[in-house]
Amino acid sequence: MKYQGIIFDLDGVLCSTDRFHFQAWQQTAREAKAPFDEAVNQRLRGVSRMESLEIILEASPLTFTPEEKERMAEEKNERYRRLLRQMTPADMPNGVREALESLRAAGLKLAVGSSSKNARFILERLEAGQYFDAVCDGTQIARSKPHPEVFLKAAEMLGLPPAVCLVVEDAPAGLQAARAAGMDCAGVGGADWPFAPAYRLEDVTTLPAVLRG
């Protein structure tokens, strides 16, 4: 097989927490008197919490100090984590666990590479941590996607060079981060990709068959 390691983004690839993010950010936008809809929400995919807040505040008529922004971001995260407690193993879509088991059986090392600081908590709620040899999340990086740091660190944690790792992503920022890391990328879903990923997947369940050719 061409690859020795697979690095998965979490949200939108292995599960979906979009509804929780939307609800949590919606309250932040109300506080800032800023418009918030699905188009704005889509711009937040794959970027850090503080960068997401800045995107929301672009349309706010109010001005906030750095301290107020920190408070707003922290309050959003607390709302989000309360909502995440609703997650169960059933929130991992059908067939994803089987796909991960198939990839592991093929001898591949698996990692999660996510900008989210809640990645480990989400994996815990999904009861999915056992599938991964490494987890690199937002608590371990200084720069979020499209910077390649999260993927480079995940590869390092797997003990593999970037060239033999495949990234699985659903967001344009993740695709750009994979290229910057020197890794191929499998794009999940119908995002408006800035350039063509190495593979296009409807969802993760098809990945084992795609890699077998």
Q: List, by residue number, the catalytic residues.
A: 9, 11
**Ordered DSSP codes for 126-154:** HT-GGG-SEEE-TTS-SS-TTSTHHHHHH
Residue whose structure tokens are 């944690």: 157
- 29 CB burial (10 A radius; 0-12, 13-18, 19+): buried
Cβ neighbors of 56 (< 8 A, separation 6 or more) are 25, 28, 29, 32, 34, 36, 40, 44
